[in-house]
Amino acid sequence: MASSLVLVVVATVLLSLAHLSAGSSRKLMELYIPPASEQLTYHQGSVLSGDIPVSILWYGKFTPSQKSIISDFLTSLTGAPTTPTPSQVSDEACSLGKSLTLTQIEQLAAPLGKKKGGIAVVLTDEDVAVEGFCRSRCGKHGPTPSGESTYIWVGNAATQCPGHCA
């Protein structure tokens, strides 16, 4: 008799749970509503769409795993089943030195951003100092000097300001 009662209670609980989960189609974002200060704001700028050529400049020495993580991340930003791998260039010798100005970052991006509407990504190694890095910025973006494409620069804060630019 006790086992029948347990069976009825378990069946009731399972049916209740099934009813609750089937009756509510809650979405993840309904569980958390960020305060206004944390919400993204659309500033009426253009929105990227379509096939956007991406080029990466690895300025300094990067490990294969660092390169793989960034490449995989960039490739994952599209839902297309066949996404072209971003073109990549390495400058391990740091041709402009290890202390760069923002103008030099734009110069590094210029040859990468030759494809109209493309994005040139400049990534600097942890031992490359860039004007204002860790003090007033962790990266920068803007149009390439030709105005045909956009560049993004992101520094590596691992040794210069750990935890600051994460």
Q: Is residue 29 part of a domain?
A: no
Place of tokens 């040139």: 120
Number of domains in the chain: 1
User: What are the φ and ψ backbone dihedral angles of 140, each rounded to 5 degrees?
Assistant: -160, 155
The three-point CA angle 56-57-63 to 5° equals 95
Q: Is residue 159 part of a domain?
A: no
Q: Is residue 161 part of a domain?
A: no
Half-sphere exposure of 128 (CA within 13 A, CB side): 29
Q: How confident is the model at residue 62 (pLDDT cuts 50, 70, 90)?
A: very high
Report whether pLDDT(15) > 80.
no
Q: How confident is the model at residue 100 (pLDDT cuts 50, 70, 90)?
A: very high
Q: Is residue 164 part of a domain?
A: no
Q: Is residue 9 part of a domain?
A: no
Domain interval for residue 114: 54-154
Q: Across residues 11-23, what is the average pLDDT?
A: 52
Q: Is residue 4 part of a domain?
A: no
Q: Is residue 120 part of a domain?
A: yes
pLDDT at 61: 94
Q: Is residue 46 part of a domain?
A: no
Q: Give the bridge partners for 156, in sequence order.
A: none
